[in-house]
Chain A
Amino acid sequence: MSVHTYPLYTVLGDYIRAFLGVCVSVVPLFVITNKPLVTYAFWGLIVVFTLYGLRTLARHYTRVETTNDGVAEYGLFRHGFAWSELSRLRLKYFSTRRDKSNGWMQLEMTGNGRRIAVTSTISDFTDVLARAADAAKTNEIELDKASLANIASIMPGRLDEEAAV
């Protein structure tokens, strides 16, 4: 069994972003006096950044366990499923830079009606991905082109790219 967590240094940036977002959205509320519509917009931003901060907190204390039999997540929700129940797998890549560098990946696994998502900042991400990719191959799951390309960029030759069509 292997245990995967999000160490503090991987979520510190997200905490800072949530804090900055709340600060930037709170300041205008002190100078806005008579425009309720604009006030609502800034309250909306505060809610977004607060939720993001709480989500980061939840992720910080999330633990993902993988075994040869299945995967389980212990955090805000506690759920898991066996690899044989894996029915959908997606690996997405996100980057806020124009040259698409310095981004992160998100692995989404669905099985038995449960969905577990982990990002590439989790410890030993490639181990989780390798197990999930093997299970997808065994279960003959049809993967989209983006997921195949992303898997190939981390583990070349692990999955056949023609399986997408």
Chain B
Amino acid sequence: MSNYFVRRLLTMMGTLLVISVLVFVIVQLPPGDFLSNQIAELQSQGEMVPTEKIEFLRKEYGLDKPVHEQYLRWVIGLVQGDMGYSFEHNLPASEVIGDRLFMTILLNFGTILFIYMVAFPIGVYSATHQYSWGDHGLTFLGFLGLATPNFLLALILMYLSHRWFGTDIGRMMAEQYLDQPWSMDKALSVLFHMWVPVFVIGTSGTAGMIRRLRANLLDELQKQYVVTGRAKGLPPGRLLVKYPLRMAINPFVADIGNLLPQVVSGSVIVSFVMGLPTTGPVFLDALLSQDFYLAGSFLMFLAALTVMGMFVSDLLLVALDPRIRMGGRLRK
């Protein structure tokens, strides 16, 4: 296991390094940069920008340096936990993101917890009660959840709550706590407001998870070893938990890696719609305005989440089922 751990750790580090190059190239791909966009905007408004000022700003932001130097400066900063400087906000990127990063992590952790807590029992129930009324009902709800875009669900919920209860369910906390220091009341307010975005963002993920777990468990339940177990008189509950469920849970665990970035990127539009103070809206603005450091740092954050998620899910998978697969070859 230690051998596997070290190999995966090395692969993870190499992958992150390659991703950092790709992110840098992708963010630099659109023609021009933040400064030339700003100058073009000012000129379109009829304002003249002196050449000296342009040169000064270009030097100030490090945009006059060769590409590889800009890359190194950015990567070294990232390693030090310095996310760079936001041109648009005229502040360090870490200050722009500030509390939003904590809110994003809190929201997405809550969403992932919600997805697993809801999907797991429903998936198991649907598979063990195949074609029952409960299975049909939950499958229908699952399809509904899969087919409904998150932002649409957010809009519907906001409309309904406004129409029926006269309340606004957007935001992550009550208005009086905005820009206030953290206190017990503020934390409770966040918890009270969080369930709506968690439900909205988590619905499609939950539906997908239910479908996958149900399909996997049904496959396993029809295998011969389960029939043999039943024939030998194993109690149904023990038989289910000890054998087919362990096998069916593999793809469930393997999804952790995909779930993290999906939930984070999926919450960008929902955050816009519901006015949530997460990093999503800031990221979208940064991409639109070519705010390189801010956009690049956010993309690296997403990539790191993906790679770390994959790392964790691979370790869990190996611990759960260290079995040779079809087509697998043994190195000697």
Contact = CB atoms under 8 A, between A and B. Distances in A.
Contacts of B327: 99-101
A28 B331 CA distance: 34
A14 B330 CA distance: 17
A37 interface: yes
Contacts of A106: 1, 322
List 4 tightest A-B contacts by C-beta distance, closest first: A92-B322, A146-B323, A100-B325, A100-B328
A30 B216 CA distance: 49
A17 B7 contact: yes
Contact of B4 (A37, A48, A96): A96
A45 B9 CA distance: 9
Contact of B234 (A52, A99, A153, A165): A165
Interface residues of A, number: 45
Given A17-B7, A18-B6, A165-B234, A125 B332 contact: yes
12 contacts: A28-B79, A38-B79, A48-B9, A92-B318, A94-B3, A94-B318, A100-B325, A145-B225, A145-B247, A146-B321, A153-B324, A154-B330
A33 B80 contact: yes
Interface string A85-106: 0000000111110011111111
Nearest to A149: B323
Nearest to B77: A31
B265 to A, nearest CB: 22
Task: Name the residue in B3, B225, B321 with the highest tally of chain A Cβ atoms < 10 Å from its Cβ.
Answer: B3
A104 B6 CA distance: 14
A18 B324 CA distance: 26
Interface string B8-21: 11110100000000
A121 interface: yes
Interface of A: 14, 17-18, 20-21, 24, 28, 31-35, 37-38, 45, 48-49, 52, 55, 92-96, 99-106, 119-121, 125, 145-146, 149-150, 153-154, 162, 164-165
Nearest to A45: B9
Contacts of A31: 76, 79-80
Contacts, number: 109
Interface in B8-50: 8-11, 13
Contacts of A145: 225, 243, 247, 323
Task: Name the residue in B2, B232, B327, B332 with the highest tally of chain A Cβ atoms < 10 Å from its Cβ.
Answer: B332
A119 B324 contact: no
A78 B321 CA distance: 30
Contacts of A21: 6, 9-10, 13
Contact of B81 (A38, A52, A100): A38
Contacts of B328: 93, 95, 99-101, 103, 153
B228 interface: yes
Contact of B330 (A18, A49, A120): A120
Contacts of B2: 52, 55
B4 A94 contact: yes
A119 B3 contact: yes
A165 B232 contact: yes
A120 B331 contact: yes
B208 interface: no
A164 B234 CA distance: 13
A92 B243 CA distance: 17
B329 interface: yes
B234 to A, nearest CB: 7
A150 B13 contact: no
Contacts of A121: 331-332
A162 to B, nearest CB: 6
Nearest to B242: A165
Contacts of A165: 225, 228-229, 232, 234, 243
A34 B80 contact: yes
Task: Name the residue in A17, A24, A34, A93 with the highest tally of chain B Cβ atoms < 10 Å from its Cβ.
Answer: A93
A126 to B, nearest CB: 9
A88 to B, nearest CB: 15
Contact of A32 (B80, B243, B247): B80
A159 B151 CA distance: 55
